[in-house]
């Protein structure tokens, strides 16, 4: 597991002390000629402006999400401490997260799984046991009791935060053995005795069965749920007391992170969303943006932007920022793209702050990883980027310049919000560039504080900005 490099940040800070910072921009002919090398690439989305971010409510001091915007916290990591305290741990964080501008939290699978108090929830047995039945060796789940979960959701809602449930509906685990006429063997597919008494199922509800030998994909040898079976559809998303509607209407979850959506058809999520509602995002682990976009459209759901994730890894760790010109889900449809730097399954990007500076200034729905925020990275820097996202990152995107070491992009602003210019520098020295902004004859500043320049744009909106080594700067109107 990669750790942030403290030496980079120390070096950048020392370099900043000695940087010569002028407040008056040059207007020489040769400087303007230098600027002509920039190729502006407009990233458009059917002409629709994208307003991303949360607006601060003056009456409550909390953050309320706007259409198409927000910041999500993945509120767990793999193998969080066992012992039933995780829901309480997260509860102690949500007020600070809300005040920082985080508008939603994504929780791990909340119901009882085969490994009971030791399970991370991805081997589900009883979808209605939230830690209140003596089942699979424990009453509580790894994360705590049902009461503690309800208290967490309630507290998050008082902070104007949404709560998303991780839903594992591809496979089940922990059933009893039964004779299976479709396989001619015994299979572990008898879930008629689950402690909650809800969603009883047997071999008819798993592949292979009368509907066929398989669907899109099985996982890990677990019994593979058959979503074509009426009993499965009824209990997952059709019944008023089924999984989806119970989670939404009784437990008060606001949305869904669907696990391993490669394992079943996109129509399943589409039907769930049509019948249950709420925000949804699918884990479709594929770097092909066409695959991501097709699934998102067919499922009527957001999808994690793995195309962006792998491009960032190659760009920032491979010293080729020009790769950020390539296609990504957020460029195809920012309203259905959930961007991220790491998660509980994969942690490949080393230059994490550069990656966060990218997703928190660009379109899409950015996700912060718990350990990055609480343990591994500089929380004040992340809070600053979250503030920038919520207050400045509006409008469509124009990529202004990119090469191996430098990347500059402009958010074009929307509905009175001025937008921003982000400058990412992956080299070992300070860099400067002339760029065209959204603003004429206007003083701007770097809202990260990494640069102390306060330049004024020219009448034609051009200005020279700078960026620290292995760092970033984010420029907007000085107001």
Residues annotated within a binding site for Ca(2+): 170, 405
> What is the C-alpha separation between 195 and 175, in angstroms, rounded?
12
First to last CA, the chain: 40
Residue 126 near residue 139 (C-beta atoms within 8 A): no
Question: How would you label 49-59 residue by residue, b for 16+ Cβ within 10 Å and e otherwise?
Answer: ebbbbbebeee
DSSP notation for 372-416: IIIIIS-HHHHHHHHHHHHHH-BS-EEEEEE-SSEEEEEE--BTT
CB atoms within 10 A of CB 68: 18
Q: CA 72 to CA 100: how far, in whole Å? A: 12
Q: Which of 283, 326, 378, 432 is catalytic?
A: 283
The C-alpha atoms of residue 132 and residue 125 are separated, in whole angstroms, by: 14
Does the annotation mark 205 as catalytic?
A: no
Q: Compute φ and ψ for 417, nearest 5 degrees.
A: -80, 130
Catalytic-role residue among 123, 129, 259, 314: 259
Alpha helix (H) ranges present in 132-183? 146-158
CB 373 within 8 A of CB 77: no
Q: Which residues are annotated as a binding site?
A: 170, 405
The C-alpha atoms of residue 163 and residue 70 are separated, in whole angstroms, by 13
Q: % helix / strand / coil in the chain, to the nearest 5?
A: 30, 25, 45
Residue 283 annotated as catalytic? yes
Burial letters 168-186, b for 16+ CB under 10 A, else e: bbbbbbbbeeeebebeeee
Contact criterion met (CB below 8 Å) for 358 and 312: yes
The residues with which 425 forms a beta bridge, in sequence order, are 406, 471
Catalytic positions, please?
Answer: 259, 283
């Amino acid at each position: 597991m990669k750790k942030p490099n403290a030496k980079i940040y120390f070096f950048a800070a020392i370099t900043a002390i000695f940087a010569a910072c002028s407040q008056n921009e040059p207007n020489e002919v040769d400087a303007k000629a230098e600027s002509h090398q920039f190729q502006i690439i407009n990233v458009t989305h059917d002409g629709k402006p994208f307003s991303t971010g949360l607006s601060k409510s003056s009456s409550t001091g909390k953050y309320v999400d706007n259409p198409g915007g927000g910041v999500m916290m993945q509120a767990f990591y793999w193998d969080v401490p066992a012992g039933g305290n995780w829901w309480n741990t997260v509860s102690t964080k949500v007020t600070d997260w809300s005040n920082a501008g985080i508008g939603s939290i994504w929780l791990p699978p909340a119901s009882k799984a085969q490994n009971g108090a030791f399970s991370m929830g991805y081997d589900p047995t009883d979808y209605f046991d939230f830690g209140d039945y003596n089942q699979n060796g424990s009453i509580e789940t790894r994360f705590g009791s049902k009461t503690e979960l309800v208290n967490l959701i309630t507290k998050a809602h008082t902070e104007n935060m949404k709560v998303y449930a991780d839903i594992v509906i591809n496979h089940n685990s922990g059933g009893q053995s039964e004779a299976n006429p479709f396989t001619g063997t015994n299979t572990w597919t008898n879930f008629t005795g689950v402690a909650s008494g809800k969603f009883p199922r047997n071999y008819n509800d798993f592949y292979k069965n009368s509907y066929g030998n398989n669907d899109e994909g099985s996982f890990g040898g677990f019994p593979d749920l058959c979503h074509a079976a009426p009993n499965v559809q009824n209990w997952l998303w059709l019944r008023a007391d089924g999984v989806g509607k119970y989670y939404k209407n009784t437990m008060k979850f606001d949305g869904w992170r669907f696990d391993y959506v490669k394992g079943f058809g996109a129509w399943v999520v589409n039907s769930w969303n049509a019948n249950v509602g709420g925000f949804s995002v699918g884990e479709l682990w594929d770097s092909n943006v066409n695959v991501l976009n097709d699934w998102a459209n067919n499922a009527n759901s957001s999808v994690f932007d793995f195309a962006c994730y792998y491009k960032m890894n190659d760009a920032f760790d491979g010293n080729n920022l020009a790769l950020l010109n390539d296609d990504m889900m957020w460029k195809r449809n920012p309203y259905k793209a959930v961007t991220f730097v790491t998660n509980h399954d994969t942690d490949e990007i080393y230059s994490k702050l550069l990656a966060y500076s990218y997703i928190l200034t660009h379109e899409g729905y950015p996700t912060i990883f718990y350990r990055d925020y609480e343990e591994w990275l500089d929380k004040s820097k992340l809070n600053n980027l979250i503030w920038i996202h919520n207050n400045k990152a509006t409008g469509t995107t124009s990529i202004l310049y990119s090469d191996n070491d430098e990347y500059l992009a402009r958010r074009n602003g929307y509905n009175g919000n001025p937008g921003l210019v982000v400058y990412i520098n992956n080299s070992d020295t300070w860099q400067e560039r002339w760029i065209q902004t959204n603003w004429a004859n206007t003083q701007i500043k770097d809202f990260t504080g990494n640069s102390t320049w306060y330049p004024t744009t020219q009448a034609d909106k051009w200005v020279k900005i700078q960026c620290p080594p292995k760092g970033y700067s984010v420029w907007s109107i000085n107001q």
